[in-house]
Amino acid sequence: MYFYIDESGHTGLNLFDKNQPVLYYGMLSSKINIDLVAEDAVKAMRKKFGVDRLHAAELGVGRLSEIATDIARLRKKHNIVFDLLKVIKKDHALISFFDQTFDQGLNPAVPWMWYWSPLKYMLLLKLQILFDDQLLEKAWKARINKNTTEANREYVDICRLLLSRAERLIGDKRAKEIMADALKWAINNPEDIHYSVYHGEDALQISPNLICFQSVIHTIARRLERSRTGATKIIVDRQSQFNVAQQWLAGFYRKGRGEVFPGGIGVPELDLRHIPDISITPTAGTNSVGLELVDIYLWTFKRFLDGKVISYELNKLLVGQAARGTTNEISIAGLEKRWVPYFEQLPDPTPEQLEKARKIIDIQEVRRAPHIMR
């Protein structure tokens, strides 16, 4: 299969640009090389507008509407599928803080079950209550601060403020206890949390661009599994800042190809059986018809999701992909939508299950007792 990948909403490590709150990746896939089979059709569209490249932001709704039918025809003829992946940047800052602070492998004051089971998501949703936008931005700045001493000082201040706000967590005494214990331990052991990055390359690896690119890789794997075929070429839009990091990430996953790793009790496993076995190919948008087409789809979907007006013709273009493509969203709202019903629908435990749970809790409490700071 052939894959063509572009992004929109890029602000690098600045997650709090109010004009670009969401990072999007769009991906076109087909069993046929779109760069070859759609070249003549796209050349005709360019000629119509007198441009060297179809760039959606420059063409706008009006001119894109004139070629929407032609693009839809290409989609049908070559069985082109569009997938949309996105990250809510502000939410990524919160998730990043949570994963570094409450990872049971780093913070021994956190019980194993509260990070390696769906209880993790309950704790994350409660942590959100303690943050405001100003504190969240401060937490992210500390996360990407390469000055470890300075970053640790800021991190400890943030944890202390969160601890002072823990009284807001009403209705769940146990979650409040775990939250407080974890924050106290982090305050006293910031060097063991390793909250800040050490190098610029580390910062790129925790950027929303790379986090969302993980979703791209897994979406490619699902496409390959469904089609029962391999990847022939993976083309990404060439840009200076993230292509090297994207190649590193793709290579990292490729090393684990064929493996399935457990995700914890009740948490989805990490399935790498269908990870593509080829490198990605950064390519200039002027040299790939597939990148031109994915740019149009991505721009149109983004405009629709942002609540902006699109034409009847462009809406039909989106509808043509609605039942074919998939979406994936990394956000607090997405986690809440998935996991709150999960907890609400859990059946009442049997007496035997309660007894087993008490034994597990006792084991975990013995392990973390030396790390609890009263």
pLDDT of 117-131, one tens digit each?
A: 999 999 999 999 999
Residue 193 has a pLDDT of 96
How far apart (Å, rounded) are the C-alpha atoms in residues 245 and 236?
12
Q: In sequence order, what are the beta bridge partners of 85?
A: 25, 328
Residue 199 has a pLDDT of 84
Is 90 exceeded by the pLDDT of residue 167? Answer: no
- Residue 197's closest CA among 155, 156, 163? 155
User: Across residues 295-321, what is the average pLDDT?
Assistant: 94
Reported as type and span, the H/E element at residue 327 is strand 327-330
Is 90 exceeded by the pLDDT of residue 373? Answer: no
Do residues 130 and 160 make contact, with C-beta atoms less than 8 angstroms apart?
no
- Residue 289's closest CA among 72, 6, 53? 53
* Residue with the larger pLDDT of the pair 323 and 362: 362
Residue 264 has a pLDDT of 81
User: Across residues 318-324, what is the average pLDDT?
Assistant: 88
User: Across residues 328-345, what is the average pLDDT?
Assistant: 95
Residue 267 has a pLDDT of 85
All structural domains of the chain with their residue ranges: 2-89+202-332, 90-198
User: Across residues 163-190, what is the average pLDDT?
Assistant: 93
Residue 367 has a pLDDT of 95
User: Across residues 33-50, what is the average pLDDT?
Assistant: 97
Is 90 exceeded by the pLDDT of residue 282? Answer: yes
Do residues 35 and 288 make contact, with C-beta atoms less than 8 angstroms apart?
yes
The sign of the torsion formed by the CA atoms of 365, 366, 372, 374 equals positive
| Max Cα-Cα span within the chain | 74
Residue 242 has a pLDDT of 87
Residue 164 has a pLDDT of 96
* Residue 134: pLDDT band with limits 50, 70, 90: very high
Q: Which residues, at least 6 apart from 317, have a Cβ–Cβ distance to it below 8 Å?
A: 68, 71, 72, 297, 300
* 335: amino acid identity, one letter: L
User: Across residues 43-55, what is the average pLDDT?
Assistant: 96
Residue 374 has a pLDDT of 77
Q: Which two tokens stand for residue 113?
A: 């079950």
User: Across residues 183-193, what is the average pLDDT?
Assistant: 97
For the chain, percent of residues with pLDDT exceeding 70: 100
CATH of the domain spanning 2-89+202-332, picked from 3.40.600, 2.60.40, 3.30.420, 3.40.50: 3.30.420
User: Across residues 287-292, what is the average pLDDT?
Assistant: 96
Residue 249 has a pLDDT of 93
Do residues 28 and 159 make contact, with C-beta atoms less than 8 angstroms apart?
no
User: Across residues 309-318, what is the average pLDDT?
Assistant: 94
Is 80 exceeded by the pLDDT of residue 35? Answer: yes
Distances (CA, A) of 148 to 63, 136, 153: 51, 19, 8
Q: In sequence order, what are the beta bridge partners of 84?
A: 26, 327
Residue 212 has a pLDDT of 95
* Residue 27: pLDDT band with limits 50, 70, 90: very high
Are β-strands 233-237 and 260-261 bridged in parallel, bridged antiparallel, or unpaired?
A: unpaired
Residue 30 has a pLDDT of 97
pLDDT of 240-272, one tens digit each?
A: 788 999 999 999 999 999 999 988 888 888 999
